[in-house]
Amino acid sequence: MTTILITTLLISLLVMILTSILSKKTITDREKNSPYECGFDPRGSARLPFSLRFFLIAVIFLIFDVEITLLFPLASILHLSNIFYWSFASLAFLMILLFGLYYEWAQGALDWSN
């Protein structure tokens, strides 16, 4: 049992050392060390500040995008259900969406200029 454990440990250690030696790049390229397309310095700080207002708008967009995706099945079940129940359910869902949008607007979450 111990011989199998030692053999496995030695083989895995040998493979890790071998890949570590072979994966080292000795040639440094000027293009590899320069900023890539985005213009950020790759050796600079990765903790750049971002706009919290932009993040809030993105989350609100994501929520409303998912809710609009939930509206698509309503069109496909129109012919399967009673028109009164279908219109009540769809209007209730849309009213909840509109009240949520109005609440976000009243709280000032959609004011980008502030």
What integer pLDDT is reported at residue 22 of this predicted model? 81
What integer pLDDT is reported at residue 6 of this predicted model? 93
Number of other residues whose CB lies within 10 A of the CB of residue 74 = 15
Name the DSSP class of 50: -
Please write the tens of the pLDDT for every residue from 42-66.
566 666 676 777 778 888 888 888 8
Taking the C-alpha atoms of residue 92 and residue 82, their distance in angstroms, rounded to an integer, is 15
Q: What DSSP line would sit under 8-48, residue for residue?
A: HHHHHHHHHHHHHHHT---PPPHHHHS--SS---TTS-S--
What integer pLDDT is reported at residue 7 of this predicted model? 94
Q: Do 64 and 101 contact (CB within 8 A), yes or no?
A: yes
Please write the tens of the pLDDT for every residue from 5-34.
999 999 999 999 988 888 766 566 666 666
What integer pLDDT is reported at residue 52 of this predicted model? 75
Please write the tens of the pLDDT for every residue from 60-97.
888 888 888 888 888 888 888 888 988 898 899 889 88
Taking the C-alpha atoms of residue 89 and residue 53, their distance in angstroms, rounded to an integer, is 33
